[in-house]
Amino acid sequence: MSVYRDKQRNTWFVVTRYKDWTGKAKQTTKRGFRTKHDAQRYESLFIDKKKDSTDILFKNFVEIYLESMEYRIKENTLMTKQNIFYHHIVPYLGEMKLDEITPKDIIHWQDQVMKDNNYKQTYLKTIHNQLSA
């Protein structure tokens, strides 16, 4: 699980070891990142995808969820989900770990969305339904 600089190509790459769903140890390499930050972000998301626990950031879980929905729903529906998550949910809950989000946090988030915006009740329900999904 390391990020390295490829001096020949002037890019960054990630080498990650993980266990697949059968329990076998595997190693993967992903190349071609322009910045070290991009490579580290990819590494973090990749590790979170391979975890079987709720000890991941909410924003990383959203990425995993939206990726899995990509081939299950129509493109416009996916774009609506992305818009709701990235504009209304992730700014408030994105930096929290899944297992640390409490009902109290959800109530504060709902209050904040209602206070900051003048949305109709039907749209507020739609936003909450996406969080529940």
Q: Are residues 107 and 83 in the same domain?
A: yes
Per-residue model confidence as pLDDT tens digits over 74-102: 999 999 999 999 999 999 998 898 888 89
Shared domain check, 112 and 65: yes
Q: Is 86 exposed, middle or buried (0-12, 13-18, 19+ CB in 10 A)?
A: middle
Rounded-to-integer distance, Cα 72 and Cα 77, Å: 10
- The tally of domains found in the chain comes to 2
**Predicted confidence (pLDDT) at residue 49 exceeds the cutoff of 60:** yes
Both 33 and 95 in one domain: the answer is no
Does the pTM exceed 0.85? no
pLDDT for 98: 86
Distance (Å, rounded) from C-alpha 50 to C-alpha 95?
19
Name the band, by pLDDT with cuts 50, 70 and 90, for residue 11.
Answer: very high
Same domain, 63 and 122: yes
Q: Tell me the average pLDDT of the chain.
A: 87
Look up the domain containing 32 and give its range: 2-50
**Could you tell me which residues are beta bridge partners of residue 28?**
16
- Do residue 124 and residue 69 come from a single domain? yes
Regarding whether 69 and 34 lie in a shared domain, the answer is: no
- 17 and 75 part of one domain: no
